[in-house]
Amino acid sequence: MAADGGRDDADRDGADRDGSGRHGSGRRGRVGYLRDETDAARLDRNYGELLQELRVAQTGVQILFAFLLSIAFQQRFAQIEDYQRYLYLATLACAACAAILLIAPVAVHRVMFRQHLKDEVVALTARSAEIGLGFLGLSMMCAVFLIADVVSGTAMAVALTVPLSIIVLIAWYLMPSLRMRAATEEESRS
């Protein structure tokens, strides 16, 4: 997803409006990905795809958030160190931000419904999802660190959290970014 009005990889497959291989976003369409769709149909498709992505992320963040809320009421919680308590609060805040941002598209849609602003709805939803996923990744890593720290100590928490953080960065950002760059380079050569 991109912050440019919801125009992401899926938009490279836009309709060939003027025979140049480009559609309204000005991006060159990839060979084999051209679609004959109106801007309204593209926005509807992009919004539908965003909602499908959000359904997956929302479930995860809601489970994590519920888990974090319940931890404070466990007996062992009273025995944790001060820095662990602060880490717990930071983790809880990150999970809450993720939940708010990943659920925000519902409110955005409801407020902007029937206002003929679908492009703005898609753009706001895409941006909200991007930021929400960042908070989700951060809250997941903080939760792993906190639990590993309580269970096995700081050294084990670092040993577990650092590789997991690298995996999140690679899977959520680096792989898609590198693939997009390679696709752009392939297109420019053709």
Contacts of 105 (CB under 8 A, 6+ apart): 50, 51, 54, 121, 124, 125, 128, 129
Domain extent at residue 91 = 48-189
**Under 8 Å between Cβ of 142 and 97:** no
Q: Residue 30: what pLDDT?
A: 56
What would the pLDDT profile of 38-48 be if each residue is shown by its tens digit?
Answer: 888 888 888 88
Strand blocks (E) in 41-175: none
Residue 147 resides in a domain:
yes
Residue 122 resides in a domain:
yes
Q: Residue 135: what pLDDT?
A: 96
Q: Residue 1: what pLDDT?
A: 40
Phi, psi values for residue 28, rounded to 5°: -75, 135
Indicate the SS3 state at residue 28: strand
Rounded Cα gap, residues 166 and 138, in angstroms: 12
Residue 41 resides in a domain:
no
Contacts of 173 (CB under 8 A, 6+ apart): none
Residue 172 resides in a domain:
yes
Q: Residue 72: what pLDDT?
A: 85
Q: Residue 17: what pLDDT?
A: 38
Phi, psi values for residue 18, rounded to 5°: -125, 15
Rounded Cα gap, residues 124 and 65, in angstroms: 23
Measured over the CA atoms of residue 160, residue 161, residue 162 and residue 163, the dihedral's sign is: positive
Residue 158 resides in a domain:
yes
Q: Residue 26: what pLDDT?
A: 43
Residue 77 resides in a domain:
yes
The tokens describing 127, both together, are: 């941006």
Our count of domains for the chain comes to: 1
What would the pLDDT profile of 88-118 be if each residue is shown by its tens digit?
Answer: 999 999 999 999 999 998 888 888 888 888 8
Measured over the CA atoms of residue 136, residue 62, residue 143 and residue 178, the dihedral's sign is: negative
Residues in the chain, pLDDT under 70: 1-33
**Under 8 Å between Cβ of 144 and 161:** yes
Residue 40 resides in a domain:
no
Q: Residue 142: what pLDDT?
A: 97
Rounded Cα gap, residues 67 and 62, in angstroms: 8
Q: Residue 44: what pLDDT?
A: 85
Residue 134 resides in a domain:
yes
Indicate the SS3 state at residue 22: strand
Rounded Cα gap, residues 115 and 103, in angstroms: 20
Residue position matching structure tokens 């025995």 = 79
Q: Residue 39: what pLDDT?
A: 86
